[in-house]
Structure 1
Amino acid sequence: MSTAILTSTSLQQRVSDAEWQARVKLSQAYVLAAKLRWTDHIYTHFSLRVPGDQPHFLINAYGQTFDEIRPETLVKIDIDGNIIDDPTGLGINPAGFVIHSAIHRARPDAHAVMHTHTAAGIGVSAQKQGLLMISQHSTRFHQRVGYHDYEGIALDLDEQQRIVADLGSLNALILRNHGLLTSGGSIEEAFYNLYYLERACQAQLAAQSGGAELLILPDAVAEKAAQTFENSITNKKYLLHWDAYIRQLNRNAL
């Protein structure tokens, strides 16, 4: 039996079943992100609140690539930055703590938080007008995405209050000149939000690259579509999206 399996078995035995399932889902999100090329090598981070009464959340060990992350390698920390469990001993990305702890502290409903530095996300984040209502994917975020101005590498704790203020009650935030961030009540919902935001950014850059005049959707039409998406979220249709991806992952179809 390999050391990795022994470590996994040992950790699974000493954490609750709920925590272990949270670890499994978060690690799956990381591997899916690697398959979808949403990564910035060892940088960027996803987090998930640990079920229970304690304000703990799981995040990636600093130095692992997304495809290496497994349930047993995730780091458990509290919202003050204290490491509760670090099986690899690698610690965490300090910027990841600043961003994720701010949201987990301020938004108890945001159980999962995902942050990326994709080319498309950075590209749109650097555009003054931000996300344009030019695709069905973008309408998902009609008047439902916030913007946070770039302040440098996110290492200053006083930036947390501005991140939280700019996100507000939303589940999508474009970090200017930086990247994308989504949240949700579950890993499945946050992943669904990130999928649509990333696709909307990809579509925007593709449309702009053609050089033709863009067709901006009227507010009423964009809002109608956005409300349809919201109904899907209320009905948890994002679970179908997640389950389909997990099936693809399990059969190596990505």
Structure 2
Amino acid sequence: MNTTASTLVHPTIHPDERAARLQLAACYRIFAMLGWTEMIYNHITLRLPDSVTGGDKQFLINPFGLHYSEVTAGNLVKIDLQGRVLDGSTHAVNPAGFTVHAAIHDGLPGAHCVMHTHTTAGVAVACLEGGLQQTNFYTAQLHGMVAYHDFEGITIHADEGPRLLQSIGERQAVILRNHGLLAWGHTLPQTFAILWTLQRACEIQMATFSMGRAIPVSEAVAARCTRDALQFNPNHGAGQDVFDALVRQVDRIDDSYKN
């Protein structure tokens, strides 16, 4: 991340919060660039490090009512697990958006970042009776990583949280049936890499099924592909190189997210 630009963002706050704000704001702009937007809806949330919070669970989320292309490091809202605003922001937070995220952040110790989308391909596969099928290069890299959670309506009820966590287990790629895609990870770049792979798997499945029957990938080959794939592995950057490349692309288009 560009450290010189970070001085433009809340110069009095902890530098680790400043870095988190810049990283998350850049991610929102990446989603906008990729077309992973749903008007003013959906969310990416990022837990602030203990160096900032003293161990309390605090998060950054997009201000409700803004398009992803309008999100900046400065207008991200800091909230707690109950969705209460902690930084004096006048922006609202969408309760339907944070209910799912709060359950995952609270219930899964490694869930530093949570991303949720309603892309056409993602929702289409989520509505398909058979879900994601092991038929392409990207599904083969998600062997044993995909969880499913049944649709319970608009996600505003906290009592869904325990059932969601039970559905997820430790799987970081999640298909919310009849709803959309979700990913969580130990870092924001790792979460992005997981969601991008899941999204590509859905896109290719949708295209393939529109033409006819797909060639299945065997369990043995898929398991080997997942072991061989390095993009989620912390020892190989866990998506950092891909994320950095996309940030550079966003910077060339519009770096106002740094404000």
Q: Common fold, TM-score beyond 0.5?
A: yes
Which residue of 1 is the match for residue 248 of structure 2?
A: 247
Shift of 1:80: 2.3
SS of 1:152's partner is: coil
Q: What is the correspondence of 1:67-146 to structure 2 with a 5 Å cutoff? A: 67-87=69-89, 89-146=90-147
Say whether 1:213 aligns with 2:213. yes
| Separation of aligned partners in 2, 1:115 and 1:58 | 14
| Separation of aligned partners in 2, 1:86 and 1:11 | 16
Bigger drift between 222-231 and 121-130 goes to: 222-231
Q: Please list the CA deviations of residues 181-229 of structure 1 after superposition, one character each: whole Å capped at 9, or x if unmatched.
A: 001111111111111111110000000111x221010000011001112
**TM, length-normalised to structure 2:** 0.90
Q: What is the correspondence of 1:196-207 to structure 2 with a 5 Å cutoff? A: 196-207=197-208
| Separation of aligned partners in 2, 1:115 and 1:213 | 29
Choose which of 44, 56, 59 in structure 2 pairs with 1:57: 59
Shift of 1:237: 4.5
Instruction: Figure out how many residues of one structure are paired with residues of the other and give that number.
Output: 244
| Separation of aligned partners in 1, 2:232 and 2:25 | 25
| Separation of aligned partners in 2, 1:251 and 1:71 | 17
Which residue of 2 is the match for residue 3 of structure 1?
A: none
**TM, length-normalised to structure 1:** 0.91
Structure 2 residues without counterparts, runs of 5 or longer: 1-5, 255-259
| Separation of aligned partners in 2, 1:224 and 1:202 | 22
Distance 1:232 1:10, change over 3 A: closer
Q: Please list the CA deviations of residues 129-150 of structure 1 after superposition, one character each: whole Å capped at 9, or x if unmatched.
A: 1111111111121121100000
Distance 1:165 1:86, change over 3 A: farther
Distance 1:129 1:226, change over 3 A: same
Structure 1 residues without counterparts, runs of 5 or longer: 1-7
| Separation of aligned partners in 2, 1:199 and 1:234 | 21
On the 8 A contact 1:192/1:238 being kept in 2, the answer is yes
Shift of 1:243: 1.3
The alignment yields a C-alpha RMSD, in angstroms, of 1.7
Q: Which has the higher contact order (CA 8 A, sep 6+)?
A: 2
On the 8 A contact 2:172/2:183 being kept in 1, the answer is yes
Bigger drift between 64-73 and 127-136 goes to: 127-136
Shift of 1:164: 1.2
Distance 1:24 1:132, change over 3 A: same
